[in-house]
Amino acid sequence: MKNIKMMVVGFASAVAVTVALSTTLFAKNDAPTLSEPTVEASRLQSLAKFTKVLGIVEQYNVDGLTIDQLIDKALQGLLSNLDAHSTYLDKKSYDSLKTQTDGEFGGLGITVGMRDNALTVIAPIEGTPADKAGIKAGDIILKVNDKSTLSMTIDDAVALMRGTPKTPIDLTIVRKGEAEPLKFHIIRDIITVESVYTRKIDGNILYIRVTSFDKKVAADVKTAIKKNGANSKGIILDLRNNPGGLLDQAVELVDLFVNEGVIVSQKGRNKADDVSYSATKSATITDLPLVVLVNEGSASASEIVSGALQDLKRGVVVGEKTFGKGSVQVVMPITETEAIKLTIARYYLPSGRTIQAVGVIPDIVVASGEVKNHEKQFNIKEADLKKHLESELEKSDGMIDVTEVNASNKTIITSEQMDKDIQLKEGVDIIKALIIVKGK
C-alpha cells in the first residue's frame, strides 16, 4: 500500500509541474496535432500528451475553466473510467465521506452502486425512510429531485440524497416490470440501523437477521447463538438486502460456522495486497444445520459470507442471485483535503471463483413473493357435523386468539408471516429437512 500511495502522489506532482508550462507550448492559432499513441510510448511521452491536451482545452474551451478546475475534471474522468467504484474525492466529497464514517447524518437509508452505467439501488436498509417508502433492490434512480443521474458519479448522487433530517426529497425510479417510472416522496431522517436481531421459528429454529456488517456483527451473532443455540436445532441466516460492510466481520462470521479452510482471499496487482483469510477451529461455536437467505440486494461482505459457506459445503444458500460486488477499495489521501478511492484488488471465494459482476447463485433459486394459498370452496369440518361438540365450542368462546398473540410477539416468526415471505418459507422447509437428516 505504501508504494501505491507514493506512486499516486508522484503522478500528481508530475502533472502539477508540466501543467505550469502548458500555455506556452503552442501559439493561439497553431494547435498541435497529436501523434498516434504507440504501445511503446514511455511515461514521459504520455504525460507530454496529457499536458498538450490540457493546454488546448485551457486555451480554447468555450467555458474558460481554470487549471484547477480542469485538473479536478481530469482526475474525476481518470478514476471513474477505471471501474464503477474508483473515484476522485474533492474537498466536499472527502468531507462527506468522513462524515458518513465518523458521525450521524441525515439520509434515506439506501446503498447505491453503478450497474450498466445506471445508478442502481443495491439495497434499502431495513427500517429506514427509503425502506418504508417502498424502494427496492434493483431499482434504477433516474432523477434526484429534478436532476438527472445520467453521467452522475455515485458520490455526487449520494451528496444530493444526503441532507438535513426531516427535509423532503423526490426520487424518480425505473423498476423492472413497471411500464412507467415511479416517483417517491421521502422525508430524510437520521439513519440508525439494528445490524443484528434474532427471532424463533417453531420453537427450535433460530432466525438471525444481519442488515449490515458493522464492527459488532460477528460478536452479536456469536452472542445470539450462545444464548439460543442450546434450544435450537437449526439456524437461518438472513442476508437479504444487506449491502455489506467490514471485511473482517464477514470473515469472523463465517468462522463461527466453519472450523477449517480458506474463507476468502483477495488478489491485486501488487503482491503486498494479496491476502488470504482462513477459518480457525477455536472460533467455531456451532455445527447446527444452516440455511442462508440472499437476494439481489445482498452485496460485498454478504456475498463473501454466503459464497464461502456455499463453497465449504457448510450451508444451503436460498433466494436470488446476489449483486456481484467483489472488489476492494481503499481511500488514499493526496492532500490534506483531497483523496482518491481506488480499487486495488478483487475477492475470491474458497473455490477460486470471483464475485465481481457474477454474484453468488443460490443452491435453490426462489423468487421473492408470497405463498399462494388457494382457499377450498367446499369442505366439511367437525363443527359442520350434527353431533359436533357444542359444549367444547362454548368453552372456547372465551379463549385468547393465539394467532393474534403470536403476531404481536416480536421474538417469534409466525406461519402467517412466513406465508408473506416465500423465500423464508422455503428456507424453513429446507432447514427442517436438514434437521431430520442430521437426526438419523
Task: Please tell me the pTM assigned to this model.
Answer: 0.71
Per-residue pLDDT of the chain (440 residues; tens, 9 = 90+): 433 332 222 222 232 222 222 223 333 344 445 555 555 568 888 999 999 999 999 999 999 999 999 999 999 999 989 988 899 998 888 887 776 555 456 789 888 888 888 999 988 888 889 999 999 989 999 999 999 998 888 878 888 898 889 999 999 999 999 999 999 999 999 887 778 999 999 999 999 999 888 889 999 999 999 999 788 999 999 999 998 888 999 999 999 999 999 999 999 988 888 999 999 999 999 999 999 999 999 999 999 999 999 999 999 999 999 999 999 888 899 999 999 999 999 999 999 999 998 999 999 999 998 887 655 555 555 555 555 545 544 544 444 343 343 444 568 898 888 988 999 999 999 999 999 998 85
| Per-residue model confidence (pLDDT) at position 330 | 86
Q: Compute φ and ψ for 416, nearest 5 degrees.
A: -65, -40
| Per-residue model confidence (pLDDT) at position 405 | 38
| Per-residue model confidence (pLDDT) at position 85 | 85
Long-range contact list for 215-220, CB < 8 A, 24+ apart? 215/246, 215/249, 217/245, 217/246, 217/249, 217/252, 217/253, 218/249, 218/252, 218/253, 218/255, 218/256, 220/195, 220/196
What are the CA-CA distances from residue 55 to residues 36, 114, 156, 363 (Å)?
18, 32, 27, 56
> Of 251, 254, 206, 260, which is closest to residue 232 (Cα–Cα)?
206
| Per-residue model confidence (pLDDT) at position 393 | 40
CATH class of the domain comprising 196-365: alpha beta
Alpha carbon 312 to chain centroid, angstroms: 22
Q: Compute φ and ψ for 436, nearest 5 degrees.
A: -65, -45
Contact of 209 with 198, CB cutoff 8 Å: yes
| DSSP β-ladder status, 316-319 and 290-294 | parallel
| Per-residue model confidence (pLDDT) at position 385 | 52
- Residue-level length of the chain: 440
Per the structure block, which three cell numbers stand in for 86? 474508483
Beta pairing partners, 264 = 277
Quickly list DSSP for 311-355.
HTT-SEEEES------EEEEEEESSSS-EEEEEEEEEE-TTS-B-
Contact of 434 with 318, CB cutoff 8 Å: no
Counts of helices then strands in the chain (DSSP H, E): 13, 19
Could you give the residue numbers annotated as active site?
A: 300, 311, 325
Terminus-to-terminus CA distance in the chain, angstroms? Answer: 52
Domain 92-190 has CATH 2.30.42.10: yes
> d(Cα 243, Cα 361) in Å, to the nearest integer?
16
> d(Cα 17, Cα 28) in Å, to the nearest integer?
22
Domain ranges in the chain? 2-65, 92-190, 196-365
What are the CA-CA distances from residue 238 to residues 222, 235, 310, 435 (Å)?
15, 10, 14, 18
> d(Cα 408, Cα 51) in Å, to the nearest integer?
67
Helices 67-80 and 43-60, packing angle to 10 deg:
130
> Of 108, 89, 106, which is closest to residue 97 (Cα–Cα)?
89
> If you ran DSSP here, which 8-state letter would residue 261 be given?
S
